[in-house]
Structure 1
Amino acid sequence: MNKLELVQALKDSNGLSKPEAEKVVSIFFNEMANALAKGDRVEIRGLCSFFVKEYKSYTGRNPKTGEKVKIAPKKLPFFKAGKELKERVDR
């Protein structure tokens, strides 16, 4: 399912207009992204959680040349499926 399909499902199931459904979906994803950008954890009970992992800098290697390369510290978002979602998918 992509964002447009989610908007359509929201529109069909709740009798919203397409612009209203688009606004709801946009607000939802924007607020999730804002929370993650601030370093907060986003948890949707029974479905999943999103959180940010921090990585320290390290020395890597360029696979093409073999040259050592300094990798800067970084933060990456991660997704963790909830118990109920895992059980539902595994049926």
Structure 2
Amino acid sequence: MQASTLTRADLADVVHNRLGLSRAESASVVERVLYHMCHALAVGQNVKISGFGSFILRDKGERVGRNPKTGVEVPIAPRRVMTFRASQIMRDRIAK
């Protein structure tokens, strides 16, 4: 099995081939979906796609880290991180 990456252009091609939209319309549909997902995450909403998974935002507090080379303690600022949790359907498909 050869490893490859699925791109926006690949998604637009699938929409074009399956729905019969023009290439420009297909690219626009993909861009709009991705835009709405990014916007929702940017304003603090989680994104859940049934049968695929959930993009979940978490706030991490400030903590002390350590430089592994010198051992000097360094404060790590609080930040927001995004995690992805695959749905059970997705996990079952990947496990095959």
The interval holding the TM-score normalised by the smaller chain is over 0.9
Q: RMSD in angstroms over aligned alpha carbons?
A: 1.1
Any residues of structure 2 matched to 1:67-82 within 5 Å, and which? 67-82=72-87
Aligned length: 91
Q: Which sections of structure 1, spanning at least 5 residues, go unmatched?
A: none
- 1:16 pairs with one of 15, 18, 21: 21
Shift of 1:36: 0.8
- Whether the aligned pair in 2 keeps the contact of 1:11 and 1:21 (CA below 8 Å) is yes
Q: Is residue 28 from structure 1 mapped to residue 33 from structure 2 by the alignment? A: yes
Normalised by the length of structure 2, the TM-score is: 0.88
Alpha-carbon distance in structure 1 between the residues aligned to 2:48 and 2:11 = 19
- Whether the aligned pair in 2 keeps the contact of 1:52 and 1:77 (CA below 8 Å) is yes
- 1:57 pairs with one of 53, 58, 62: 62
Q: Give the share of equivalent positions with the same residue, in percent.
A: 34
Structure 2 counterpart SS, 1:69 = strand
- Whether the aligned pair in 2 keeps the contact of 1:45 and 1:82 (CA below 8 Å) is yes
Q: Residue by residue, what CA displacement relative to the aligned partner does 1:19-44 show, whole Å, maximum 9, x if unpaired?
A: 11111111111111111111111111
The residue number in structure 1 matching 2:93 is: 88
Structure 2 counterpart SS, 1:65 = coil
